[in-house]
Amino acid sequence: MIRTFLQVVMLSDLTRVFGGFRFRRYAQAALLLYGLIIAIGVSAGYVQEEDPDGWWPLLFGIVLGSFGLMLFSTLSAWRLATAGLIAMRVLFTSEEGVLGEWQWCWYLPVLVAVGLLHSGRVVVMVALITTGVVYLVGAMGNLDYFPTTAGILMLFLLLGYAFGSRGRAEQRFHAERDAKTALVERARIAREMHDVVAHHMSLVAVRCETAPYRIAGLPEEGRREFAELGDAARAAITDMQGLLGVLRATDQRADRAPQPGLADIRALAPQASVADVEVPSAVGLTAYRVVQEALTNAGRHAPGSSVSVVVSLVDDALEVFVRNSAGGPSSGGGGGHGLVGMGERVAVHGGSLDASSTEDGGFAVRARIPLGER
């Protein structure tokens, strides 16, 4: 929850902020409802304290408009709200403080939103202009309230900026961590793909070496051609082994076990529905890893949940669908790295990955892996 909030404050306006939430429409409606209540309070206060001269719709529009603009541009909302401070001072003839009871509830949320969502340079500009406007408004009525009012406004602006800065730093940290995770996963993919490609290259080398014995009457030129192809295949295997040594960590041992494929998914999930089709080894390995990671996430974040696995052939792509219901409390860990890894694996084949929560509180992973030329 804290991380989600910190990510939220990185966004440029409240429409994009609410766009990151599952119930964004309700959040937007709540903001507008709050603005409507404050707008009614401000305009009703004006009608009650002043002679009804027809200016209350202006106040109503300024207040409600400020909250409406917050959904699109917090700076535009701040500009309108700041102009509204001057309009209120002109229209209200009472000698109370610069910010009355309703004004606190109106102007402060706009100011805090600016602090949350903008950089220090923008916040400094807003602070200077706001202080100047508050002084001007105070000079039109009573400057006794100016130091306290300006101090409180700057305090809230500073608090908003502090949370926003924390969110921006947190966002950069997670972006850098995800980038590092992606690089690590790509190296792991390359190591695993080495085994898949080496198997095919070894088959080429063996067939080239045995061709003179399997093909009767093969001319000498054909023998030399097969011999050269076999040498090239063995050289390619040697080059790949050298590259694998670079990608492997210094303390990491070589994995001599064969890489898993489509047929091994049932060992992970006996209840899985796996299409009985022939797919390239690399595609089968990717499908296996996606299912493996999705099952690991389900066990970690929804222990005790029921999990369904369906692997099917749709057009020219292999579709992997893993869904788990709501389970017990999450045991933590992971940090979303598994999703990054799955995305990298599927992207190798030019496929797509979608991972999201379900309406019943569960989670679903759907991967589409193109088969390419078979």
What is the rounded CA–CA span in Å between residue 344 and residue 182? 7
The confidence score (pLDDT) of residue 354 equals 92
Q: What is the pLDDT of residue 281?
A: 85
Q: How far apart are CA 365 and CA 294, in angstroms?
A: 7
DSSP three-state, residue 338: helix
- pLDDT score recorded for residue 141: 63
Q: Which residues pair with 370 in a beta bridge?
A: 317
pLDDT at 273: 92
Residue 26's Cβ-side half-sphere holds a number of Cα atoms within 13 Å equal to: 3
Give pLDDT tens digits along the chain (374 positions): 334 433 433 344 554 444 444 566 777 788 888 888 888 887 777 777 666 567 778 888 888 888 888 888 888 888 988 888 887 777 765 555 434 566 777 888 888 889 888 888 899 999 999 998 888 877 666 677 778 888 888 999 999 898 888 888 888 887 888 777 777 777 777 767 766 677 677 788 888 888 888 888 888 888 888 888 888 888 877 777 666 655 555 555 555 556 788 889 999 989 899 998 888 888 888 899 899 989 988 888 888 889 999 999 988 899 999 999 988 877 665 555 678 888 888 888 899 999 988 888 889 999 999 987 55
Question: What local confidence, expressed as pLDDT, does residue 2 receive?
Answer: 36
Can you give the pLDDT at residue 235?
81
Count of CB atoms situated within 10 Å of the CB of 152: 13
Pinpoint the alpha helices (H) of 140-214.
146-214
Beta bridge partners of 357: 363
> HSE (CB half, 13 Å, CA atoms) of 290?
34
How far is CA 206 from its chain centroid?
A: 48
pTM exceeding the 0.85 threshold for the entire prediction: no
Nearest residue to 129 via CA among 185, 61, 167, 79: 79
